[in-house]
Amino acid sequence: MSLENIVEPIAIEIHDLWFSYGRQNVLEDVNLLIRRNEFLAVIGPNGGGKTTLVRLILGILRPDRGVVRVFDEAPEKMARHMGYVPQNTHFSKEFPISVLDVALMGRLGRVGRAWRYSPADRRMAEKALDRVGMLSYRDAPINNLSGGQRQRVFIARALITEPGILFMDEPTASVDTEWQANIYTLLKELNDSVTIVVVSHDIGILSSNVKSVVCVNRTVFYHDSAEITTEMLEKMYQCPVELIAHGLPHRVLGRHG
C-alpha cells in the first residue's frame, strides 16, 4: 500500500487498549487519536508503559484487548511505513559493519528476495547520511563512532524507509548539545510530510519543539498543546510535582498518601 493513496487524516488510532506482562497490567483502557503530521511527545515515569505503547503501535506487541490502527490498517500491514530510532544504538564489537551498511538496513524490507541492494538504494542511503551530516563516515565501522554519531546513522537508517510515521526513543540521550538542536531542526523539517512521535524525558527541549503531548502512566492523557504544566505532571506521576523553570527539569516532590 502506498501512502500517496491514503487520505485518512488519522495516522494512529487506539481504542480500549489493555496490555499486560503476565498478571501485571502495563496499559489500561487506552484511547488515543494521533493525526497525520502531528509532532507528538510521549512522556511519563519509568515503567509507566511508554515503550510498550510504541511497540504496540509498531506491531511488535499485540494488545490483550482493544484495537490499534495505523493509517486505518493493522500495524503489521503498515510496518514498512513506520521508521524507528532506538535509544540503544550499539552493535557487537565482533560484528564488523560500516556506517553505509547500517543505513542500508532500512531498505531490507524492500529489496526483494535476492537481498541485493540496487544502485538506487545506495544513493538513497548516501542521501540520508548526508542529511544527518554523516556521509563522510560512510566507510567507517559503526562501533568506531561516538554515541551521538551512531544516533545520527540510525536516524538515516529510519529515513531511508521513507516513513509516514517516525518514532524516536530518547533521541538526545547520547548526543552533544549542538546536535540536540540539529536533531529537532531536522525533525521539524520532516514534520511537513511525516508524523513524528518522540519518547523522551527531556521536558525542556520537548516543550519548545513539539505540537502536543501524551502522558503515559498505565493509562494515557492527551494534551493538544506543547505546554507541559504542573497539573499534567501531577496527573501523570500521581504525586505533587514542581516545575522549577521553563526549559529545566521538573522536580517530583516527596511521597504522599
Where in the sequence is the domain holding 125, given as residue range(s)? Answer: 3-47+59-88+96-252
Domain assignment of residue 77, yes or no: yes
> Where are any strands of DSSP class E within 61-172?
65-70, 82-85, 165-169
Q: How many domains does the chain have?
A: 1
Residue 54 placed within a domain: no
In this structure, is residue 53 part of a structural domain? no
CATH code where residue 204 lies? 3.40.50.300
- 201: in domain: yes
Find the radius of gyration of the CA atoms of the chain: 19
Strand order in the sheet with 10-21: 24-35, 10-21, 65-70
In a domain, 233, yes or no: yes
| Residue 39: burial class (beta carbons within 10 Å; 0-12, 13-18, 19+) | buried
At 26, is the secondary structure helix, strand, or coil? Answer: strand
Instruction: Report yes or no on 238 lying in a domain.
Output: yes
Judge whether 136 lies within some domain. yes
203-239 pLDDT per residue, tens: 666 667 788 888 899 998 888 766 666 666 666 555 4
For 136-190, the pLDDT digits (tens) are 999 999 888 887 788 888 889 999 888 999 999 887 776 677 777 778 888 888 8
pLDDT per position as a tens digit, 79-124: 889 999 887 666 666 677 899 999 998 887 654 545 678 899 999 9
